[in-house]
Structure 1
Amino acid sequence: MLVAGLWTAVGQVQASEPSSLYFRCNMTAAQYAEVKAAPPGGAPAFDDWQQWFDSHGMYGPGKVRSEDLRPLVARNLRELVGVTGWGTYSEYDEKAGAWRFALLQFSDNYGEMISLLAPLRSVAPYCAADSDSFMLVYSYIWGNGDDAYLTLNGRSQFAKAPTPAQRQEADAVLAELFKAAQR
């Protein structure tokens, strides 16, 4: 199943209230080119999915299912996150040395989130270890709270909450996407 942002980019509509995704990784231009050409990482590379599920009130059994760990089909990360269209943003800023990626409407399903979180988490070894690279999945539009916050400084790990500066950064990009969607 595709995530909501990818559905949106190809013209599909969802009736739920999906969370938004914001990702920033500080890296060199050469690392960015390497990352985009690399095969996307898979969910089995990370052993903390169930802990993440357990930290949220899930409907049903609240267990990570084997189908949640299946990868999205893509030859490389560029193909996976290169979808453009309504509510999407992806840019490498050479001056800042940072890749930013955002989906205004990502998903409302934790199992489905794993499909894109895993490949983005696999970028962590390329993120500068002394940076504050991060990924945030939260209800930007509807204000229902955070779903996932991950630090990406050489390795990927779930953490408690973004810094105020990180949240402001994510809010600013998503606000621009939301404003563009209103036109």
Structure 2
Amino acid sequence: MVMAGVWAAMGQVQASEPSSLYFRCSMTKAQYATVMAARPGEAAAFTDWQQWFDSKQMYGGGKVDTDDLRPMPAETLSQIAGGSRYGSLSEYDEKTGVWRFALLQFSENYGAMISMLAPLRSVAPYCAADSDSFMLVYSYIWGDGDNAYLTLNGRSQFAQAPTPAQRKEADAVLAKLLEASEG
């Protein structure tokens, strides 16, 4: 598993327990195929990581360093997001034009979060501008609050908080993943 190696190699700043990740982007079938075949976006393409770190309380120095900005060891985004893993979901609905990606147990390490957030943030230009596309990293299982909320409508940017409807959507998908993992 690609993410296990990345997380093991990074050990800087951490939240208390693993957070969950939920991502939803509206795009055409052709855009989805392009995104999945694309090289994963790199963290260095975004300049707001330190601002995000500064908005959080965390253990360690709280500074983004070069290790946090290392690219994912994958050739395509499909290698990161595709495939079936325990506690995960990656599905594209051709009827609605929506790609959903979720990880029930994502990471407790803010530095390691960057390695997955960067490739997903790079999808933002493909998300329909009026689609309410977003990504949420939060403590679904443990209830320790939000780690990151990003809007993805044409561009990726950190924002204050998800709408109640977005949180309800993320909760519903993660609840299904949790139920499946317990059964």
Q: Summarize the alignment of residues 43-122 of structure 1 with structure 2, pairs less than 5 Å apart.
A: 43-122=43-122
The answer to whether the aligner puts 1:166 opposite 2:166 as a matched pair is: yes
- Residues 59-88 of structure 1, C-alpha deviation per residue, up to 9 Å, x if partnerless? 222100110000111110001111422100
- Residues 18-76 of structure 1, C-alpha deviation per residue, up to 9 Å, x if partnerless? 00000000000010000000000000000000000000012222100110000111110
Counterpart of 1:68 in 2: which secondary structure? coil
Q: Percent identity?
A: 74
User: Moved runs in structure 1, 4+ residues, more than 2 A?
Assistant: 1-4
5+ residue gaps, structure 1:
8-15
Q: Distance in 2 between matches of 1:126 and 1:38?
A: 12
Scaled by the length of structure 2, what TM-score is found?
0.91
Q: Distance in 2 between matches of 1:172 and 1:126?
A: 25
- Residues 102-151 of structure 1, C-alpha deviation per residue, up to 9 Å, x if partnerless? 00000000000000000000000000011100000000000000000000
The 8 Å contact of residues 38 and 76 in structure 1, kept in 2 or not, is answered as yes
Scaled by the length of structure 1, what TM-score is found?
0.91
Range that drifts further, 129-138 or 74-83: 74-83
The answer to whether the aligner puts 1:125 opposite 2:125 as a matched pair is: yes
**Could you tell me which amino acid in structure 1 is paired with residue 119 of structure 2?**
P
Give the count of matched residue pairs: 174
Q: Distance in 2 between matches of 1:59 and 1:129?
A: 36
The 8 Å contact of residues 135 and 151 in structure 1, kept in 2 or not, is answered as yes
The 8 Å contact of residues 2 and 112 in structure 1, kept in 2 or not, is answered as no
The answer to whether the aligner puts 1:22 opposite 2:32 as a matched pair is: no
